[in-house]
Chain A
């Protein structure tokens, strides 16, 4: 761990040290060039100050070696910055497989959070220390952005899209989170607190009260029956639609021969734009559920489909070619 500079916020997630090191590197490069050029300007300014009214400068038109030098050096440094930054970003955009999934819905001007067991929170987020946490983000109205400075992470929350972000809290405590994408009148008060707890405390907190909130998996299961999804998506693979057992996180072969990974965004798209990606071997029969489900309904359905991940995948009629690994 590096020592923190006074203008670095708390480091409370796995990303904080890597983002901070990156920052330190860029600051060092910038300070070096700023000082070098400022020094050159100041020295030239005084050293070559006009001595007499009619004096002119020495006519120097340029120097090819210098031009090449100051094209190549910044190019190399830029590449280094790009590469390092890209590594951190790619890590951030690809969540590990086994994560604690928490659903977050943004709406003007509050955050609704649902824990895996169904416990709901408003403008609060409880997470255990040391566990990979994935937030599944949806918006009911305009674009928001979930930003936790102490974790050095943020992600836009876009209506009509699912975005996910992950982090691993490394230090227990209270950390403020903000809405970081301007969303209207009360944008600035659309924030709250993340509470990072020891795993045991978190488990106690989680079981302490579900407050009568239904578990998203059971809500999803109910919806799955209500919306008649279960009439086609038979779990044994004999239905008109593929079995959903083991689909989540797995690889799906599509009718056009390509493959996709069945993540939250894929599931969401398949519900809303059912004919966008047809599983190989099936007909485009499924109706679209655009406008008929709330974001929270979709999240419950997704949670239910995720819960089928551990169910046995039928030999025929499976939705996946390679089931998701738990």
Chain B
């Protein structure tokens, strides 16, 4: 029996419905923490064991794209927070505006991630697809690297190879790093894509004027989800890009 359009049949009151939805979202996020937790643990242990190779491998990722993406994502969290606020105070037009802004920023993030993945693909740094850390140094010109960067890479790589006792060991351990890199950022990107889908759905609802000061739980919960995905990135960025940069 629906009392208003927004109240589902199993609930008695809107407050009860809102409380359920919010609690549900928090529980879902706690699941997500454990989900990413397994990956973070695997990464931390291996980073400790293969410190040299991991630190070298992480330096082959371009810092600039990662830094830009961090800013983009923090920006999107801001717009998301603004849309939640707009919904709470009942500014219907602003809700839509900020949701679209969040979606655009999310799109930018994914686009940049795509560029980064493409670079890694060109450099043969994708595990399982002809993985070879020496591809760029052995085929100068094949990768989009400045000569001085390539030279630096060659020096570092030579030293690393000597330390590790051969290319096989470097490739094996470095593949481990990139498996984790793609695993973690890929899982994060998947969450972004799902988030984008949720945003599209919210925008449609919002344009129909569904969100009011009484009923805005979906905006709030997608907001929680979006912030969570943002926070995951805030951990991923230093772990994968920043440690051991000089």
Asked if A and B form a direct contact in the complex, defined as CB atoms under 8 angstroms apart, the reply is yes
Q: CB within 8 Å of B: which residues of A?
A: 273-276, 284, 287-292
Minimal beta-carbon separation of B60 from chain A (angstroms): 20
Contact A284:B164 (CB < 8 A) given known A273-B49, A291-B169, A291-B172 = no
Cα A273 to Cα B168 with chains together (Å) = 14
Interfacial chain B residues near A289, Cβ < 8 Å: 165
When distances are taken between beta carbons in the complex, the residues of chain A under 8 Å from B49 are 273, 276
B153 at the interface (CB under 8 A from A): no
Main secondary structure of the interface of B (DSSP, over half): helix
Closest to A287 in B: B165
List residues of B (115-169) whose CB comes within 8 Å of A's CBs: 162-166, 168-169
Q: From residue B109, how far is it (CB to closest CB) to chain A in Å?
A: 37
**Complex Cα spacing A274 to B165, Å:** 10
A292 to B167, CA, bound (A): 11
Q: Which of A273, A287, A290, A292 contacts B162 (CB 8 A)?
A: A287
Q: A273-B49, A276-B49, A291-B172 are in contact. List 4 more A-B contacts (CB 8 A).
A: A275-B163, A287-B162, A287-B164, A288-B165
Do residues A291 and B163 form an inter-chain contact, with CB atoms below 8 A? no
The answer for the CA separation of A284 and B52 in the assembled complex, in Å, is: 11
Instruction: Say which residue of B52, B168, B172 sits within 8 Å of A275 (CB atoms).
Output: B52
Instruction: Classify the interface of chain A: helix, strand, loop or mixed.
Output: loop
A275-B52, A276-B49 given as contacts; is B163 within 8 A of A290 (CB)? no
What are 24 sample pairs from A and B whose C-beta atoms fall under 8 A apart? A274-B163, A274-B165, A275-B52, A275-B163, A276-B49, A284-B163, A287-B162, A287-B163, A287-B165, A287-B166, A288-B163, A288-B164, A289-B165, A290-B165, A290-B166, A290-B168, A290-B169, A290-B172, A291-B165, A291-B166, A291-B168, A291-B169, A291-B172, A292-B165
Chain B: number of interface residues, binned into ranges: 10 to 19
B-side interface residues toward A, CB under 8 Å?
49, 51-52, 162-166, 168-169, 172
- B161 and chain A: residue at smallest CB distance: A287
Shortest Cβ distance from B134 into chain A, in angstroms?
16
A192 to B49 alpha-carbon distance, docked (Å): 36
The CA-CA distance from A279 to B21 in the complex, in Å, is 57
A289–B49 CA distance with the chains assembled, in angstroms: 15
A290: chain B residues within 8 A (beta carbon): 164-166, 168-169, 172
Residues of A within 8 A of B168 (CB): 290-291
Nearest CB in chain A: distance from B161 CB, A: 9
Docked pose: A273 CA to B165 CA in angstroms: 10
Shortest beta-carbon distance, A257 to chain B, in Å? 18
Per the bound structure, the CA–CA distance linking A289 and B164 in Å amounts to 7
B172 to chain A, nearest CB (A): 7
Provide the bound-state CA to CA distance between A284 and B172, in Å: 21
Residues of A within 8 A of B51 (CB): 275
Q: Which 6 A-B pairs have the closest CB atoms?
A: A287-B165, A288-B165, A290-B169, A288-B164, A291-B168, A289-B165
- The smallest C-beta distance from A115 to any residue of chain B, in angstroms, reads 30
A266 to chain B minimum Cβ distance, whole angstroms, is 15
User: Which residues of chain B come closer than 8 Å to A276, judged between CB atoms?
Assistant: 49
Closest chain B residue to A269, Cβ basis? B49
- Roughly how many angstroms separate A288 CA and B169 CA in the complex, as a whole number? 8
Q: Chain B residues near A275 (CB, 8 Å)?
A: 51-52, 163
* Residue with the greatest number of chain B CB neighbours at <10 A, chosen from A284, A287, A288: A288
CB distance from A258 to the nearest CB of B (A): 15
- Which residues from B are CB-within-8-Å of A273? 49
Q: Cα distance A160–B172 when bound, in Å?
A: 14
Closest to B52 in A: A275
